[in-house]
């Protein structure tokens, strides 16, 4: 479990100078007014399409697989909109790391906080099911300002980004737990913590089962939720953080307790969570992280989608 980020001299070595430059530029940019940041994010996202051709293909392919009846003109609009959202997400990451608590609070509203308070009344741990929307980092900061959480995460390969990322996330949250630290996660839940976990990506064949996701019949889906639910007996809830359509900021949505989760069947449990994820994605599909290779792990003998 990581509760603080430790700076060390190796982070100022020449290998990290370009990363430092990028962080400095991001730090300076996010102090500009939000309406300007919004327009800048859109421009960055559109421009990124010219040199992220591989990711453009992945976004298009994911949308084709999930929504096979989508016409080509609308599909092209969705791809463009998703990259605009990506550009916004980059700046929102800087906002999450560098904005003051007061400025973050000024730009989001929250619905469903009463559900979280009600769930905590008996001291039981809560497993918060989250999704990889582009505004993920800012959403974590906002949720921490409402109620500090412990987040399950994968450490970043770049040690400098890992330090800045952890420092930013810890401004409003309790701790970070490596997703491989099963004992630490269970201990945190059993102690009554609110633990954030995003089961909506392809984490490989180990610990996954194949169930339907949107229109794709056999999709590698982590059984992590099912394992944690059986071992730690937490309350299950969902939380998402979305941009408001009128560009006035963001909305943190905390949903009621999931009461009918099928603990007795791993496959049913995975499909249950995928249905929840599908529903949440459809609230703002253009804001979802479609550039992730969600279907990279295939059943044995099946060809790659990419």
Per-residue model confidence as pLDDT tens digits over 173-206: 888 899 889 999 999 999 999 999 999 999 999 9
Q: What is the DSSP secondary-structure string of 251-292?
A: EEEEPPP-----TT-HHHHHHHHHHHHHHHHTTSGGGB-TTS
Three-state secondary structure call for residue 2:
strand
> All domains of the chain, ordered by start, with CATH?
9-287 (3.40.1130)
Q: How many CA atoms lie within 13 A of 111 on its CB side?
A: 7
CA-to-CA distance for 24 and 18, rounded, in angstroms?
Answer: 10
CA distance linking residue 178 with residue 162, whole number of Å? 12
pLDDT, one tens digit per residue, over 58-67 is 999 999 999 9
Residue 171 has pLDDT above 90, yes or no: no
pLDDT digits (tens, 9 = 90+) for 7-39: 788 888 889 899 999 999 999 999 999 999 999
List strands edge to edge, sheet with 126-129. Answer: 108-111, 250-254, 235-243, 126-129, 194-197, 150-153, 175-178
pLDDT at position 2 over 80 = no
174, two tokens: 């309790």
Q: Are 112 and 256 in contact (CB under 8 A)?
A: yes
Residue from 82, 135, 140, 106 nearest 34 by CA: 106
User: What predicted TM-score, i.e. pTM, was given to this entire model?
Assistant: 0.93
The H or E element spanning position 36 is helix 34-48
- Mean pLDDT for the chain? 94
C-beta of residue 237 within 8 angstroms of C-beta of residue 128: yes
Radius of gyration of the chain (CA): 19
Q: If you search the block for the tokens 């921490």, which residue do you land on?
A: 144
* Phi and psi angles of residue 240, each rounded to the nearest 5 degrees, phi first: -135, 155
E strand intervals along the chain? 108-111, 126-129, 150-153, 175-178, 194-197, 208-213, 216-222, 235-243, 250-254
**What is the predicted pLDDT for the residue at 5?**
61
Contact 236, 189 (CB under 8 A): no
How far apart, in Å, are the Cα atoms of 243 and each of 133, 136, 240, 248?
10, 11, 10, 8
């Amino acid at each position: 479990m990581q509760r603080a980020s430790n700076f060390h001299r190796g982070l100022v070595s020449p290998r990290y100078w370009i990363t430092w430059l990028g962080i400095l530029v991001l730090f300076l940019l996010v102090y500009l007014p939000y309406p300007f940041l919004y327009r800048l994010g859109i421009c960055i996202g559109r421009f990124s399409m010219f040199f992220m051709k591989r990711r453009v293909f992945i976004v298009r392919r994911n949308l084709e697989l999930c929504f096979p009846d989508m016409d080509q003109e609308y599909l092209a609009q969705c791809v463009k909109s998703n990259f605009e959202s990506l550009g916004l997400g980059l700046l929102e990451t800087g906002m999450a790391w560098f904005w003051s608590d007061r400025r973050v609070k000024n730009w989001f509203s929250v619905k469903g906080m009463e559900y979280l308070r009600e769930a905590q009344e008996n001291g039981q741990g809560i497993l918060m099911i989250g999704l990889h929307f582009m505004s993920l980092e800012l959403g974590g900061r906002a949720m921490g300002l409402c109620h500090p959480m412990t987040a399950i995460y994968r450490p970043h390969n770049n040690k400098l980004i890992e330090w800045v990322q952890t420092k930013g996330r810890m401004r409003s949250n309790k701790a970070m737990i490596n997703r491989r630290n099963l004992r630490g996660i269970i201990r945190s839940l059993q102690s009554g913590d609110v633990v954030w976990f995003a089961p909506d990506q392809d984490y490989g064949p180990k610990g996954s089962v194949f169930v339907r996701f949107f229109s794709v019949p056999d999709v590698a889906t982590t059984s992590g939720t099912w394992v944690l639910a059986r071992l730690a007996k937490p309350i299950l809830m969902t939380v998402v953080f979305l941009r408001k359509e009128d560009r006035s900021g963001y909305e943190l949505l905390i949903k009621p307790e999931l009461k009918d989760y099928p603990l007795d069947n791993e496959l049913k449990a995975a499909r249950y969570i995928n249905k929840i994820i599908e529903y949440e994605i459809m609230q703002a599909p253009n804001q979802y992280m479609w550039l992730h290779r969600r279907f990279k792990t295939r059943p044995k003998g099946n060809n790659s989608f990419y």
